[in-house]
Chain A
Amino acid sequence: NAGVMQNPRHLVRRRGQEARLRCSPMKGHSHVYWYRQLPEEGLKFMVYLQKENIIDESGMPKERFSAEFPKEGPSILRIQQVVRGDSAAYFCASSSQWRTSSGNTIYFGEGSWLTVV
């Protein structure tokens, strides 16, 4: 499967615990994006990363959330001290290149559903 791979698909955490969501981009893609979908809402951009670099984190909450995309291995979205309001679907997407004049299509994974109890 050469698509965007996310795991775990479902994650249950108690309030105050940490959640780690992983994303392996499509083969040949070096750009990763994280989006969040809260219940009954649309897709909200969180962060955009290239290998070892955060390009745009304008959508990341200021506290408790962090993301990385190391030279080797998957991208990781980390949520510390989770609260009930963090319960959502977290989608990772990837693209092959920086935005060109002809546009840039991003491809999504199946998502990780976080439930905080």
Chain B
Amino acid sequence: DQQVKQNSPSLSVQEGRISILNCDYTNSMFDYFLWYKKYPAEGPTFLISISSIKDKNEDGRFTVFLNKSAKHLSLHIVPSQPGDSAVYFCAASAPNAGKSTFGDGTTLTVKP
């Protein structure tokens, strides 16, 4: 049973436009959510996180939105740049559980 799902394996957007990456979760105990970016042959890099007490968190070009009732979160990148092309992983964790559970990732391609 996959508790964190990223249903779009890939996404392609034009440079300068908005990229929206989606993530759904099934475990209602999750209360902390993270996004990571990963380039080939490198480790995942932390991008941004959000606690369940909030519905939005913004850091520069990156904004994460959380809809708890729908068990859905999304990452918005505005404006998208070619250097944003990477695999993006959504992750979630529950109270009293140190580990984070990851989705399978979405490959973002930003075309010049």
Contact = CB atoms under 8 A, between A and B. Distances in A.
A45 B43 contact: no
A48 B93 CA distance: 13
A98 B104 CA distance: 25
Nearest to B4: A42
Contacts of B7: none
Interface string B22-49: 0000000001101010000111111001
Question: How big is the A interface, by class?
Answer: 20 to 34
A56 B52 CA distance: 23
A99 B91 CA distance: 14
Given A55-B98, A99-B96, A105 B34 contact: yes
A43 B42 CA distance: 13
Interface string A33-58: 10100000111110010000001100
Contacts of A113: 41
Interface residues of B, number: 26
B51 interface: yes
Contacts of B46: 105-108
B98 A102 contact: no
Interface string A77-113: 0000000000000010001001101111111111101
Contacts of B31: 103
Contact of A103 (B43, B89, B93, B102): B93
Contacts of B85: none
B53 to A, nearest CB: 9
Nearest to A97: B98
Given A99-B93, A103-B51, A109 B32 contact: no
B94 to A, nearest CB: 8
19 contacts: A6-B43, A33-B100, A43-B105, A45-B100, A48-B99, A59-B99, A91-B44, A95-B98, A99-B93, A99-B97, A103-B32, A103-B49, A104-B32, A104-B93, A105-B46, A105-B49, A107-B46, A108-B44, A110-B42
